[in-house]
Structure 1
């Protein structure tokens, strides 16, 4: 690994009741989160290739951990997302460098597919800052039942010179979806949209 990882946190959330009604089977989502040193904290650097390479490494590592936490094969994952929170001495562009150019390919490889764009978010914060990992269906962005998010936080991160990087996966959409649109059963999975 080309970066210093201080901590990895894995979170699994299982919803068994929603709106007073049982959810059967329960919906589950998992996030794998890495707390890494920001090599460019406190300085402006034009070339962010180092962070892009870190993103590529984290895509596979965190993807594998999140899928393992759900205990399902990668190709059974239905939705995914990614997010990062930079400490006070970092830039939002540092999070973008990790999340966008190369993190996706190794993450998708763990899942066996992933035709849709991976939803993402980035923010700046201090230790314990909650942040949301947006979620969408991995093969068809128009599947409304899978528009969702997972809030995560690490109690002691990010420190000023750190970045918290997270990916999330689900085994289903939201509990009791009923807002219409393209259904999971109608997915073609060819263009990432439908």
Structure 2
């Protein structure tokens, strides 16, 4: 692996009740977060292909970690998201290079039919910055019940010359959704929208 990983943190969130009402089965969200060295920290680099390759590697590694933490078969995953935070010596384009060109393909390979855009966010921050990972349905963007987010934080990251990269997977949408849109069962997953 070309990424120089300092640490990997895995977080699992499991909701059993919401407003006193049982959530059955419980909804699970898992995020795997890698803290890596930013090879271009503190300097401008025109060619970001090294970070693009790192994104592809991390898509597979973090996707596998999140799926294992979720504890279900890949086909049973309903939602996903990704996010990155660069330390103060990085630039937003470093996060974009990791997240956008190639990170998604290995995640999709792990979870079956997943044509919908993987929601993403990026930011710059210092130690302990909160990374809000946006979540959406893996097959159809119009499944509103899966518009959600997962907050992750690594207390000692990112350092100035690091990047935090997260991949999150879910077993379902929000508990007790009531705002309309397609349901999970109605999603066709042919075009990534419906």
Give the TM-score taking structure 2 as reference length: 0.99
Residue 10 of structure 1 is matched in structure 2 by 10
State the shift of 1:18 in Å: 1.0
Shift of 1:113: 2.3
Question: For residue 114 of structure 2, what is the aligned residue in structure 1?
Answer: 114
1:142 maps to which residue? 142
User: What CA distance in whole angstroms lies between the structure 1 residues aligned with 2:50 and 2:98?
Assistant: 9
Which residue number corresponds to residue 85 of structure 1? 85
- For the 8 Å contact 2:113–2:189, the answer to whether it is kept is no
> Deviations for 1:113-158, whole angstroms, at most 9, x for unmatched residues?
2110000000000111111000000000000000000000101000
Answer yes or no: is the 8 Å Cα contact 2:87–2:163 preserved in 1.
yes
Task: Provide the TM-score with structure 1 as the length reference.
Answer: 0.99
Counterpart of 1:106 in 2: which secondary structure? helix
Partner in structure 1 of residue 61 of structure 2: 61
CA RMSD of aligned residues (A): 0.6
**Aligned position for 1:173:** 173
Asked if 1:52 is matched to 2:52, the reply is yes
Structure 1 runs (4+) deviating above 2 angstroms are none
Structure 2: state its 5+ residue gaps: none
Residues in 1 aligned to 2:71 and 2:131: alpha-carbon distance in whole angstroms: 24
How many residue pairs were aligned?
A: 194
Cα distance, 1:35 vs structure 2: 0.2
Query: Match of 2:32?
Result: 32
SS of the residue 1:182 aligns to: coil
> Is there any run of 5+ residues in structure 1 with no aligned partner, and where?
none
Equivalent residue number for residue 155 of structure 1? 155
